[in-house]
């Protein structure tokens, strides 16, 4: 792994919680008419040294503290960033005994990362808040559609989270239909920037197929631009194969039309793509990589027909990249948005 020169940045950190990073705080003495009082003597500001290190494959910037602990990873040309935060667990007891325990929090940068961005105002402002943010991130939002997850509605009465289906039952009665996008789940019409005006189908309300699920999480919930077609453009296209080939961000594992076997480049929040149907040249399934589970396996979450919706479980195939199971042998590529 290539290592490059590092940049060390000193950031002011107050000993008391009232001080924000890099900001001096003053409290006026309301009992005095002599003007602002001096800062309290008990307030001390220490210098926190953040080390910004450049690594390759993929090209990225890793942020470390004085002890060498990784605080964040920013990948060139990608908006998804992984920050180290409080440890938490993700599970789905009705579909698997496995649990994913992780301290990775996946956030979206305001714009794609580029080398040297750590010195730009947009980043310093964003990072000051993001590094302590414990609101739902990519992983938490992705699990808000699993089995029995309670519904949530916005101030317009639109259900934006809660147990999702994969799609309506096929006319034959065997299996479920694909082609349910995020706006079908929401039950709202959607105008895309590439000129497509989409209308939800009543029979698909509450349903998302695999790529619709990815678009629901990254697009509708987190604000990444979405496209109405499979053509390349400034946003996430509709189908899995198109996201893999021309979606935003950075390709991590190229599609060589054979089983992918090396997950070493992956980090939480990456997209993983599979060939699970008849055409060996078309990627037809996509999931969101979660990380290692408590069994030491690489686990992902995706929306599937067999269990009728998003799952990180093992019904109809284990949600693993490295166990030799159905999805493991069907894994073909990966991308970081």
Single out the residue in 33, 56, 79 at which a domain terminates. Answer: 56
Say if residue 161 is in the same domain as residue 47.
Answer: no
Residue 189 lies in a domain: yes
What's residue 40's pLDDT?
41
Bridge partners (DSSP) of residue 336 are 250
Single out the residue in 29, 56, 83 at which a domain terminates. Answer: 56
pLDDT in tens, 144-163: 999 999 999 999 999 999 99
Say if residue 52 is in the same domain as residue 154.
Answer: no
Total number of domains constituting the chain: 2
Report the candidate in 144, 118, 87 with the shortest Cα–Cα distance to residue 268.
87
Say if residue 177 is in the same domain as residue 283.
Answer: yes
Residue 219 lies in a domain: yes
What's residue 286's pLDDT?
98
What's residue 8's pLDDT?
56
What's residue 178's pLDDT?
82
Using DSSP, state whether 63 is helix, strand or coil. Answer: strand
pLDDT tens-place values along the chain, 337 residues long: 444 555 555 554 332 233 233 332 223 333 333 333 333 443 343 457 899 999 999 999 999 999 999 999 999 999 999 999 999 999 999 999 999 999 999 999 999 999 999 999 999 999 999 999 999 999 999 999 999 999 999 999 999 999 999 998 777 766 677 899 999 999 999 999 999 999 999 999 999 999 999 999 999 999 999 999 999 999 999 999 999 999 999 999 999 999 999 999 999 999 999 999 878 889 999 999 999 999 999 999 999 999 999 999 999 999 999 999 999 999 999 999 9
What's residue 278's pLDDT?
76
CATH classification at residue 311: 3.90.1720.10
Say if residue 291 is in the same domain as residue 148.
Answer: yes
Say if residue 45 is in the same domain as residue 151.
Answer: no
pLDDT in tens, 80-135: 999 999 999 999 999 999 999 999 999 999 999 999 999 999 999 999 999 999 99
Single out the residue in 9, 39, 56 at which a domain terminates. Answer: 56
Q: Which domain holds residue 202?
A: 143-336
Residue 76 lies in a domain: no
Say if residue 46 is in the same domain as residue 156.
Answer: no
Distance CA 337, CA 107 (A): 11
Residue 31 lies in a domain: yes
What are the structure tokens assigned to 98, written together? 């496995």
Residue 66 lies in a domain: no
Strands (E), 92-191: 99-108, 152-153, 159-161, 190-191
Contact 95, 315 (CB under 8 A): yes
Say if residue 189 is in the same domain as residue 326.
Answer: yes
DSSP secondary structure code for residue 218 in this structure: I
Report the candidate in 54, 53, 44 with the shortest Cα–Cα distance to residue 15.
44
Say if residue 147 is in the same domain as residue 28.
Answer: no
Residue 128 lies in a domain: no
- Residues 172-195: b if buried by 16+ CB within 10 A, e if exposed: eeeebbbebbbbbbbebebebeee
Residue 38 lies in a domain: yes
Say if residue 49 is in the same domain as residue 164.
Answer: no
What's residue 33's pLDDT?
34
What's residue 277's pLDDT?
86
Residue 251 lies in a domain: yes
What's residue 6's pLDDT?
58
């Amino acid at each position: 792994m290539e290592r490059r020169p590092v940049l060390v940045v000193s950031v002011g950190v107050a000993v008391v919680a009232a001080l924000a990073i890099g900001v001096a705080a003053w409290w006026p003495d309301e009992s005095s008419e002599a003007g602002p009082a001096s800062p309290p003597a008990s307030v001390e500001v220490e210098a926190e040294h953040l080390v910004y290190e450049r690594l390759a494959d993929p090209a990225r910037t890793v942020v470390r503290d004085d002890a060498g602990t990784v605080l964040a990873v920013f990948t060139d040309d990608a908006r998804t960033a992984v920050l180290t935060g409080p440890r938490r667990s993700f599970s789905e007891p009705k579909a698997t005994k496995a649990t994913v325990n992780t301290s990775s929090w996946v956030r979206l940068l305001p714009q794609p990362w580029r080398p040297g961005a750590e010195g730009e105002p947009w980043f310093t402002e964003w990072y000051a808040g993001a590094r302590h943010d414990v609101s739902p991130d990519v992983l938490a939002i992705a699990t808000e559609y699993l089995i029995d997850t309670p519904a949530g509605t916005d101030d317009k009465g639109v259900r934006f989270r809660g147990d999702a289906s994969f799609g309506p039952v096929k006319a034959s009665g065997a299996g479920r239909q694909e082609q349910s996008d995020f706006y079908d789940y929401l039950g709202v019409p959607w105008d895309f920037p590439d000129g497509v005006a989409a209308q939800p189908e009543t029979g698909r309300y509450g349903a998302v197929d695999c790529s619709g699920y990815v678009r629901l999480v990254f697009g509708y919930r987190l604000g990444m631009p979405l496209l109405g077609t499979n053509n390349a453009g400034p946003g996430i296209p509709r189908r899995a194969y198109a996201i893999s080939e021309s979606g935003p961000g950075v390709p991590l594992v190229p599609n060589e039309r054979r089983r992918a076997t090396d997950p070493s480049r992956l980090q939480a929040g990456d997209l993983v793509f599979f060939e699970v149907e008849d055409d060996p040249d078309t990627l037809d399934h996509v999931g969101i990589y979660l990380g290692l589970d408590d069994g030491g396996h690489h686990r992902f979450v995706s929306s599937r027909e067999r269990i009728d919706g998003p799952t990180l479980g093992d019904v109809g195939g284990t949600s693993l990249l490295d166990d030799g199971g159905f999805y493991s042998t069907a894994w073909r590529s990966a991308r970081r948005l």
